[in-house]
Structure 1
Amino acid sequence: MKTLRHNTALSSCARPLMAVAGLGLLVLMTGCSDSPRTPAPGVAAATTSANLPAAGEQIKPQPAKPSPSGAGQETAATLAPPKSPRTHDELRVQAAHRLVAANPQQSYMGAVPEILLAIPVLEVDLNRDGSIKRIVVLRRPRQEPGTVQLAIDAVHRAAPFGDLSRLPAPWKFTETFLFNDERRFKPRTLD
C-alpha cells in the first residue's frame, strides 16, 4: 500500500516537470528550425490550404486557361502527340516524360536533392481517349501545400496521354512529384 501511494506522489510531481520539459523542447525546436521558405523568383506565391483539395479528394478536370502571354499555347504546340501505350507501365513512363516535356520551366531532370521541399502524390484517372477524368490527391505535403496545385496544373498541361482503348481498365497512373527548393518538380518515375 505504501508503495502505491509513493508512486502516485511521484507521478503527480512528475507531470508538471514533464509539461515544462515538453514546452522547453518545443521552444528549442522552434528556435532551431529553418526560416520559412520563400518561392524562387518568378514563381507565384503558394496557394492557401483553404482552397486546396484534401488528401483523397477528387478533382474534376478543368479546361486549360490560356495564359495572357500565350506561353501555355507555345508549350502545347511543341508537345508531340502521345503514342498509344501497350501496357500500364508504358503509360506511367510516357506520362512522366510528357509531364517534363509539357512543363520545362517547372521541372528538372538532374539529381534529386537529399532534402526535398515537398512530395505530393497524385492518382490520375483517365478516359479511354487519354484525357483526364479526375485527379485524386493521395498525399498532400503539410509544409508546402501549394505544390499540390502546381502538380495538378502540370498534369493538365501534359494531357492527353494517348489512346488507351487497347489497355484493360482502369486507365490510371500514380505519380510522385519530387519538388526541390526552387519549386520545380521531377516525376519519381524518371528518378
Structure 2
Amino acid sequence: MPVIDRFKRAARWLIGPVLAGCAAAPRAPAPAPPSAPVAVPAPLPSPAVVAAPKPPGMPPPRAVRTQEELRRQAAERLVMANPDGTFMTPAPTHLLTLVVLEVEVKADGSVRRVNVLRKPRFAPETLQLAIDAIHRAAPFGDVRRMPEPWKFTETFLFEEDRRFKPLTLN
C-alpha cells in the first residue's frame, strides 16, 4: 500500500469521528420570528372611569387632518382629562415603567379599540391606568378629513408615583 493511501486512511480514521461528532452536536433553536403587536380588545372602562366626569374646563376637540395633529391633540387631551394623574416636568432619568398603546378611533374621534403594543414589565397596574386615561380623554376630534387608518400610538412615561406623561409632549 503506497504511503499516500496510508495517510488518507489514517486521516479518515482520525478526523472522521471528530467530524461525525460535530454533525451530531445539538444546534441552537432558530430565533423566533418577530412577533406582531398583540391586538388586545380594550377592556371596558372601570367603574371609576365611567363615574368620573371630565374636568369642567375641557374644550371640545378640534377636527384633525393629519396623524400628527391627531396624536398631538390626543396627548393634550390626556393631560387635560387626567390632571391628578399626569406630570409636565421633564421626565426623570429613572422611570417606573413604559406603556405603549395604539388607539384606533371612529370617525367622530371616539375610541374604537385600544391595542397594547408594549406591556409594562414592572408595575402592571399602570397598563389599566393608561387605558382608563385614554377613555377619559376621548373623543379626540373628528377624523373624517384625515386619511385612514384612523389611529395613533402613544407612549406613557410613568414616574415612581404612577403619574404619567405622554411622550408626544416630552
Runs of 4+ in 1 over 3 A off after TM superposition: 60-68
Whole-angstrom CA distance in 1 between matches of 2:88 and 2:105: 25
Q: Is the 8 A contact 1:66 1:73 kept in 2?
A: no
Whether 1:103 aligns to 2:82 is yes
Do residues 147 (structure 1) and 147 (structure 2) align?
no
Query: 2:129 is paired with a residue of what secondary structure?
Result: helix
The equivalent of 2:109 in structure 1 is 130
Contact 1:79 1:102 in 2 (8 A): yes
**Residue ranges of structure 1 left out of the alignment (5+ in a row):** 2-54
Task: Indicate if the aligned counterparts of 2:95 and 2:160 stay in contact, CA closer than 8 A.
Answer: yes
Structure 2 unmatched runs, 5+: 1-13, 15-36
SS in 1 for 2:153: strand
Whether 1:62 and 2:19 are equivalent positions in the alignment is no
- Structure 2 length as normaliser, TM-score? 0.73
- Structure-1 separation of matches of 2:123 and 2:67: 30
Instruction: Tell whether the 8 Å contact from 2:42 to 2:115 is kept in structure 1 after alignment.
Output: no
Return the offset for 1:63: 5.8
Is the 8 Å Cα contact of residues 64 and 157 (structure 1) preserved in structure 2?
no
The alpha carbon displacement at 1:60 in A equals 3.4
Alignment partners' CA distance in 2, 1:90 and 1:173:
10
CA 1:112–1:64: 2 relative to 1, 3 Å: same
Equivalent runs, 1:12-31 vs 2, <5 Å: none
Q: Percent identity?
A: 52
> How many matched pairs?
137
* Structure having the higher Rg: 2
Contact 1:178 1:186 in 2 (8 A): yes
Per-residue deviation at 1:141? 1.4
Q: How far off its partner does 1:66 sit? A: 5.8
Contact 1:59–1:136 (CA under 8 A) maintained in structure 2: yes
User: 1:129, 1:83 → 2: CA distance?
Assistant: 11
Q: How far 1:74 sits from its partner (Å)?
A: 5.0
Name the CA distance, whole Å, in 2 between partners of 1:143 and 1:66: 23
TM superposition score normalised by structure 1: 0.66
